[in-house]
Amino acid sequence: MNEAAWDEFSRGSSIRRATRAGFLRNVAVALGNWVAPEAVPALVRALEDPEPLVRGHAAWALGRISSPGASERGGERGGTGSGLAIARQVLLAHGGAIGVDSGRGPATVFTLPAVEGGAS
């Protein structure tokens, strides 16, 4: 939600007191507590927010959704098995990729191609 969308959404409402960053932080916390894979796309988008407060809480929420024990916290909606999906969405959102090769043995290999000029 950019500033213009926030202004339109919150105009005339007491929710404005929370500020845009505070409101989006609260949304990220709620989504993290929901621990549902459906929240992942919105949280991945929030990682690009200009406000550090929003980005930090989006990262926290994504960690909760993909962490061990997420299904116990999330009740019947669960959250297990979404860690790789989250990693893939984050990588794709940043122009990256992820490859998986299960082969025939007990090992699974994940490939994260390096980008020329990327961070080391």
- Quick one: which of 52, 54, 85 has its CA closest to 43? 54
Specify whether the CB–CB gap between 71 and 80 falls below 8 A: yes
Q: Exposure of 111 by Cβ count < 10 A (0-12 exposed, 13-18 middle, 19+ buried)?
A: exposed
Q: What is the pLDDT of residue 119?
A: 54
Residues 6 or more apart from 20 whose CB is under 8 A from it?
A: 1, 3, 6, 10, 51
Q: How far apart are CA 55 and CA 47, in angstroms?
A: 5
pLDDT in tens, the chain (120 residues): 899 999 999 999 999 999 999 999 999 999 989 888 888 889 988 988 999 899 888 888 888 887 666 655 554 444 445 676 677 777 777 777 777 776 666 666 777 776 666 554
Q: What is the pLDDT of residue 25?
A: 93
Would you kindly state where each structural domain of the chain is located, as residue ranges?
3-111
The pTM score is: 0.63
